Amino acid sequence: MGDLTGKVAVVTGASRGIGKAIARAVAAAGARAVLIARSEAGLAETQREIESAGGAARYVVADLADPKSLAGVARSMRKIECQLDILVSCAGIGVFKPLLLTSTDEWDRVMAINARAPFLLARVLVPIMNTGGCIINVSSVVGVKGYANQGAYTASKHALMGMTKVLAQELQPRGIRVYVICPGGVDTDMVAQARPDLDRSVLMRPEEIAKIAMFLIDQEGMAVIDQINVRRSASAPWF
């Protein structure tokens, strides 16, 4: 794990699951972590865990479905930090039912959090991002596949994939790298909701995805990885 001392990292979805694991990892490497999620109790717990391990963290409570709340994130960042080096958009929700039974409100909220929020965060935070910084968008296996009863979630992750590809091209001249991670089944509350049939003992752990995020953050030199697909060992290769 590289040394991130002096770096600033924003992580959304930091109150639980993969986002929490990534927040703890960047803080353990020395970065000052700015934690974003809706749950203040969950954010406070993540902050306590980071600080008890000797790291530094602050949190900003925000509803990522609300553009005004995201504008508040930008204002808070400018108050507590004057720079940004790492942005990890990990927050996500899902609606797990047949596509034609999905309501308009359900569709809109999934798209707002999973696809629009990473776009809006990049728009308001890239202006304070240092050259050499990086953005990691956490997508999903459904960013490249389609699963029954996950229509809105699948559409939102496909949208995130497309946005990420364009953002990577547009920020390349500024020396900012943009990555996407597509995990399969990870032992999180959302996966338990989406796939109650899965044996949780064979699911990947959030910390395993955090290690991959740290690998991307540490990446240097002439070789660049754009996308990493990650499957659980029990699933079929090459999704």
Query: Which pLDDT tens digits describe the chain residue by residue (239 residues)?
Result: 589 999 999 999 999 999 999 999 999 999 999 999 999 999 999 999 999 999 999 999 999 999 998 888 888 887 777 789 999 999 999 999 999 999 999 999 999 999 999 999 999 999 999 999 999 999 999 999 999 999 999 999 999 999 999 999 999 999 999 999 999 999 998 888 878 888 888 899 999 999 999 999 999 889 999 999 999 998 989 98
pLDDT score, position 101: 98
Measured at the CA of 113, the angle between CA 109 and CA 116, to 5 degrees, comes to 105
Homologous superfamily of the 8-230 domain (CATH): NAD(P)-binding Rossmann-like Domain (3.40.50.720)
CB 193 within 8 A of CB 150: no
pLDDT score, position 224: 93
- Cα 30 to Cα 57, 65, 99, 109: the distances in Å are 10, 30, 43, 34
How far is the C-alpha of 5 from the C-alpha of 55, rounded, in Å? 10
pLDDT score, position 116: 97
How far is the C-alpha of 205 from the C-alpha of 75, rounded, in Å? 33
Catalytic positions, please?
153
Q: In this predicted model, what pLDDT tens digit does every residue of 16-50 receive, in sequence order?
A: 999 999 999 999 999 999 999 999 999 999 999 99
Distance of CA 195 to the CA centre of its chain: 20
Strand pairing partners for 137? 89, 180
pLDDT score, position 72: 85
Q: What are the counts of helices (DSSP H) followed by strands (DSSP E) for the chain? A: 8, 7
What pTM value is reported for the model?
0.95
